[in-house]
Amino acid sequence: MTRVVVVGHGPSAHRLAESLQGFDGTVTILGEEPRPAYDRVALTSYLAGKSAEDLTYPVPDGVTPRLGSRVTGIDRAARTVTTADGAVTAYDVLVLATGSAPFVPPVPGKDLPGCFVYRTIEDLDAIRAAAGTATAGIVVGGGLLGLEAADALRGLGLETHVVEMSPWLMPRQVDEGGGAVLRGHVERLGLTVHAGAGVARITGEDRVTGLVKPDGEVIPAQIVVFSAGIRPRDELARAAGLAVGERGGIVVDEGMRTSDPSIYAIGECALAGGQIYGLVGPCFTMAEVAADRIRGGSGSFTGADLSTKLKLLGVAVAQFGQMSGALDVTYLDPVGGVYKKLFVSDDASTLLGGICVGDAAPYDTLRPYVGKPLPGLPGDLLFTGSGVTPDLPDDAQVCSCNNVSAGTVRAAVLDRSLTDVAGIKACTRAGTTCGSCVPLLQRILVKSGVPVSKALCEHFAYSRAELFEIVQVRGVTTFTQLIEEHGTGRGCDICKPAVASILASLHNAHVLEGENAALQDTNDHFLANIQKNGTYSVVPRIPGGEITPDKLIVIGEVARDFGLYTKITGGQRIDLFGARVEQLPQIWRRLVDAGFESGHAYGKALRTVKSCVGSTWCRYGVQDSAALAIMLETRYRGLRSPHKLKSAVSGCARECAEARSKDFGVIATENGWNLYVCGNGGFKPRHADLLVSDVDTDTLIRTIDRFLMFYVRTADRLQRTSAWLEALDGGLDHLRDVVVHDSLGLCADLDVQIERHVAGYFDEWRATLEDPDKLRRFTSFVNAPGVPDPSISFATERDQIRPVGVSS
């Protein structure tokens, strides 16, 4: 019976142990940490509320783990290892899975209290404890893990700086153009980026007080987190006389064997083909190859796909294939913060690689085509991968984390009659690690002729529309009740905001009431839109754009007294920019006292009903468009929906209010009103379609009521009315049959729902100001209430403020 001993108990060791289940031998894992292997990819979620148990992998059957057992020596002749407590363990096969250690630059002050690395749960515990008495933190390193660490410090309420030696962030994943766009996203969240900068020393005597850059600039901070790369932990191998690389790493062959045939090395400590791999996918493949060889197989590791897709600080970043080519095709939207580039062969026929920042939509469908003929024109593929079908060659890699090909997925679907992505995950492991390949798995299912589940997410087996019905029929009032009775797990950032929207649509509850507060999207947390420098905008409702001089004066006085930037919007409102979070209640108290209410600019709800002056003033007007616009905005204000809603009313066919670019728009006629629906003036403009014509005001309002409630009831999450109509079976004709001719018998129910909304409306900001518990959340730093964020500063331009460091 073969005795396998594994040194190290990280993810690679866990994958090896899983792959050895049923093996005719014993498997003993000696782990240095006090806990078994856990998901390091999701480490940051520990600071966001997940427990250590949530992240911990289950120990495979037949494996004997020995935790807190640091191996201090290997006796290759006797085939034994010794741990720090003096215990000696014999092996027939030894696997080194010692991982890597964070690189800490050898700068003065690096060992001061307040200096940390970002590697283990214990590291995060220490950082969280230190944050309780800190106001600012610095992350040294602007790579993938460094930005995760920066997001963690930001989440702990600290002013956060990122110091990166390279000229741009994430230099291993994006080029200079992508780095510039990524930096813009990061800085808009309130972080300060110091690119092309090193570290001269860490200041402080008894503990950290700051960091000094080589140019002499001092960054004050009480916490410094080093995330400047990793170094393979090969000290045991060196001491045992095993071959190691010139720059570190245990040298292994394609079977993961070291220079001693009875010893293997896997994961971040292994030097395979002259390279150290720091991504989870290649490390898992190494573990599977080593397990196969231990079993007597012939598996080999000949390299790995280093493609990456992730979301850091809310920004989508993806890189696949190589970052150079004979030709490249680039798309840049500096306003929207999107950068995409494809690298292709000199004849533009073969895809070599790509970079995406701000929009990673092309990644899922294009990555498997690396090294293969392009399925369309590069310029077309750069946007959404349109025209690309999942008819991939069998050898195209779908899941880089677990090295699963399209052929393997296709075979699993057909041979095992799989009907959902969960089945593919269980059979192939594809999609079980980072999850970025899940959309492609869904497409392969569709292409295989399998109806794909419309489940909202892994926690609910129902679509958003089905959950809406469940909440309504069962009288569900909380997310906890819904997931306990009709879902699984604890929920995620997909289902929580979606359910919050459903609850708000049906029950008119305050979005910050009770557990609802934890479900909301970012902007709803503070009832305001966060801006690029970490401040917030204030947008009071001005129905129809009509406002009295007295109210205009109040807005002007508030803007003057709080030093805010003012802007008249295209939706006939006045936006006030530059408010710090702790100022929001003070600003809104004055606005509410003057008769203003929330404009819901932060929510998935009705924004505005734009209008012209209509027949009251205009010589061409045939109906009172301003009065109707005010009536509609007052009626539908606060209506929570799957996505934002915009409307307009034009007083004649000249269409000054641009009603046909809105979710619902009204144009006056000599005989009444024409109603247009499902328009969109955004990223993908769409003219609205005529639903009814020449109707009277009562019929118009009744039709809009039913249209809105049918949309709220049946649309998918974050689906605009334009996309909803295009996906609706039967399209406009079906919509007309439902809301005008009552073909489904739903209209009475829709009427009741909208009347319940109208009767139950209340102003969220007024209710917030009357509730001390809700007001407690309005603070820049949870550990220093009332202290303004010192990182926020402004310059003056055109007699108004603008964020410092942000180009106009």
Q: What's the confidence (pLDDT) of residue 383? A: 61
- Say how far apart CA 67 and CA 31 lie, in whole Å: 5
Beta strand 2-7 with 25-30 is: parallel
Side-by-side strand order, sheet with 71-75? 71-75, 80-83, 88-90
- Known binding site for siroheme: residues? 656
Q: Is 583 left (phi over 0), alpha (psi -120 to 50) or beta?
A: alpha
- Judge if 115-228 and 604-777 fold alike in CATH terms: no
Q: CB under 8 Å to 401, separation ≥6 — which residues?
A: 279, 280, 281, 284, 432, 433, 434, 437
Looking at residue 717, the DSSP 8-state letter turns out to be: T
- Say how far apart CA 603 and CA 247 lie, in whole Å: 52
Q: CB under 8 Å to 359, separation ≥6 — which residues?
A: 316, 338, 340
Q: Give kind and range of the element (H or E) at residue 627.
A: helix 625-636
The answer to whether the beta carbons of residues 265 and 252 sit under 8 Å apart is yes
Pick the more confident residue, 510 or 160.
Answer: 160
The answer to whether the beta carbons of residues 142 and 136 sit under 8 Å apart is no
Out of 22-31, 40-49, 618-627, least confident range: 40-49
Report CA-CA distances (Å) from 555 to 187, 353, 548, 561, 794: 29, 51, 11, 10, 21
Pick the more confident residue, 627 or 309.
Answer: 627
- Say how far apart CA 229 and CA 182 lie, in whole Å: 19
Q: CB under 8 Å to 752, separation ≥6 — which residues?
A: none
- Closest CA relative to residue 254, chosen from 312, 302, 206: 302
List pLDDT tens digits, range 456-475: 888 898 988 899 999 988 88
Q: Hey, what amino acid is at 517?
A: A
Chain-centroid distance, C-alpha 650 = 39
List pLDDT tens digits, range 85-141: 999 999 999 999 999 999 999 999 999 999 999 999 999 999 999 999 999 999 999
Architecture (CATH level 2) of domain 604-777: 2-Layer Sandwich (3.30)
- Say how far apart CA 533 and CA 803 lie, in whole Å: 6
The answer to whether the beta carbons of residues 576 and 537 sit under 8 Å apart is yes
Largest alpha-carbon pair distance within the chain? 102
The secondary structure of 235-259 as a DSSP string is HHHHHTT--B-TTS-EEE-TT-B-S
Mean pLDDT of 22-39: 92
Beta strand 88-90 with 115-117 is: unpaired
Report CA-CA distances (Å) from 208 to 27, 782, 784: 44, 21, 19
Ramachandran angles phi, psi of 511, nearest 5°: -70, -15
Residue boundaries of the structural domains of the chain: 2-101+232-294, 115-228, 305-388, 389-453, 464-520, 521-601+783-808, 604-777
Report CA-CA distances (Å) from 578 to 535, 555, 598: 5, 14, 17
Mean pLDDT of 381-387: 55
- Say how far apart CA 659 and CA 681 lie, in whole Å: 10
Strand partners for 319: 308, 355
- Say how far apart CA 84 and CA 799 lie, in whole Å: 68
Whether 795 has a pLDDT exceeding 90, the answer reads no
Q: How many CB atoms lie under 10 A from the CB of residue 665? A: 26
- Known binding site: residues? 612, 618, 652, 656
List pLDDT tens digits, range 259-274: 999 999 999 999 999 9
Q: What's the confidence (pLDDT) of residue 807? A: 43
The answer to whether the beta carbons of residues 732 and 663 sit under 8 Å apart is no
Whether 431 has a pLDDT exceeding 90, the answer reads no
Helix axes 438-447, 421-428, angle to 10 degrees: 110
Out of 16-30, 218-232, 389-403, 595-609, least confident range: 389-403
Whether 444 has a pLDDT exceeding 90, the answer reads no
List pLDDT tens digits, range 717-743: 888 998 898 878 888 989 999 999 999
Percent of the chain surpassing pLDDT 90: 57
Q: What's the confidence (pLDDT) of residue 451? A: 66
Q: CB under 8 Å to 717, separation ≥6 — which residues?
A: 456, 464, 494, 497, 498, 501, 642
Q: What's the confidence (pLDDT) of residue 390? A: 46
Mean pLDDT of 481-485: 92
Q: Hey, what amino acid is at 268?
A: E
- Known binding site for [4Fe-4S] cluster: residues? 612, 618, 652, 656
- Say how far apart CA 161 and CA 146 lie, in whole Å: 11
Q: What's the confidence (pLDDT) of residue 331? A: 86
Q: What's the confidence (pLDDT) of residue 784? A: 53
List pLDDT tens digits, range 661-693: 999 999 999 999 999 999 987 656 788 999 999
Q: What's the confidence (pLDDT) of residue 567? A: 93
- Say how far apart CA 94 and CA 113 lie, in whole Å: 37
Structure tokens at 571: 């939706």
Q: How many CB atoms lie under 10 A from the CB of residue 616? A: 13
Q: What's the confidence (pLDDT) of residue 806? A: 44
Structure tokens at 361: 């939509």
Q: CB under 8 Å to 246, separation ≥6 — which residues?
A: none
List pLDDT tens digits, range 594-645: 999 999 998 899 999 999 999 999 989 999 999 999 999 999 999 999 999 9
Q: What's the confidence (pLDDT) of residue 387? A: 42
Protein fold of 305-388: Enolase-like; domain 1 (3.30.390)
Structure tokens at 728: 């609706």
Mean pLDDT of 641-655: 93
Q: CB under 8 Å to 560, separation ≥6 — which residues?
A: none
Q: Give kind and range of the element (H or E) at residue 82.
A: strand 80-83
**H runs (alpha helix) in 416-519:** 421-428, 438-447, 464-474, 479-486, 495-507
The answer to whether the beta carbons of residues 276 and 115 sit under 8 Å apart is no
List pLDDT tens digits, range 69-88: 999 999 999 999 999 999 99
Protein fold of 521-601+783-808: Sulfite Reductase Hemoprotein; domain 2 (3.90.480)
List pLDDT tens digits, range 509-560: 787 877 776 666 667 778 888 887 778 899 999 998 999 999 999 999 999 9
Burial letters 211-227, b for 16+ CB under 10 A, else e: bbeeeeeebebbbbbbb
> Computed over its alpha carbons, how large is the radius of gyration of the chain?
30
Residue-level length of the chain: 808
Instruction: Report helix, strand or coil for 758.
Output: helix
The answer to whether the beta carbons of residues 166 and 194 sit under 8 Å apart is no
Looking at residue 595, the DSSP 8-state letter turns out to be: T
Q: Is the dihedral of CA 612, 617, 618, 623 positive or negative?
A: positive
- Say how far apart CA 667 and CA 653 lie, in whole Å: 7
- Class in CATH terms, 389-453: mainly alpha
Burial tier of 528 (Cβ tally within 10 Å: 0-12, 13-18, 19+): buried
- Max mean pLDDT among 24-33, 296-305, 471-480, 775-784 falls in 24-33
Out of 25-29, 489-493, 639-643, least confident range: 489-493
Structure tokens at 482: 């819904």
The secondary structure of 193-245 as a DSSP string is EEET----EEE-SSS--EEE-TTS-EEE-SEEEE-S-EEE--HHHHHTT--B-
The answer to whether the beta carbons of residues 25 and 1 sit under 8 Å apart is yes
**What is the residue-averaged pLDDT of the chain?**
88
| Coarse DSSP helix, strand, coil percentages of the chain, rounded to the nearest 5 percent | 35, 25, 45
Beta strand 159-164 with 192-195 is: parallel
- Closest CA relative to residue 570, chosen from 686, 467, 656, 451: 656
CATH number assigned to the domain with residue range 2-101+232-294, chosen from the 4 options 3.40.50.800, 3.50.50.60, 3.60.20.10, 3.40.30.10? 3.50.50.60
Q: CB under 8 Å to 188, separation ≥6 — which residues?
A: 337, 531, 532, 533
CATH number assigned to the domain with residue range 115-228, chosen from the 4 options 3.40.190.10, 2.170.190.11, 3.50.50.60, 3.10.580.10? 3.50.50.60
Structure tokens at 209: 């007080």
Confidence of residue 37 (pLDDT cuts 50, 70, 90): very high
Confidence of residue 434 (pLDDT cuts 50, 70, 90): low
Whether 311 has a pLDDT exceeding 60, the answer reads yes
- Say how far apart CA 418 and CA 503 lie, in whole Å: 33
Q: CB under 8 Å to 522, separation ≥6 — which residues?
A: 314, 530
Whether 361 has a pLDDT exceeding 80, the answer reads no
Q: What's the confidence (pLDDT) of residue 747? A: 94
Q: What's the confidence (pLDDT) of residue 808? A: 41
Whether 43 has a pLDDT exceeding 90, the answer reads no
Number of H helices and E strands in the chain, helices first, is 24, 38
Burial tier of 286 (Cβ tally within 10 Å: 0-12, 13-18, 19+): buried
Structure tokens at 330: 């680039």
Q: What's the confidence (pLDDT) of residue 304? A: 82
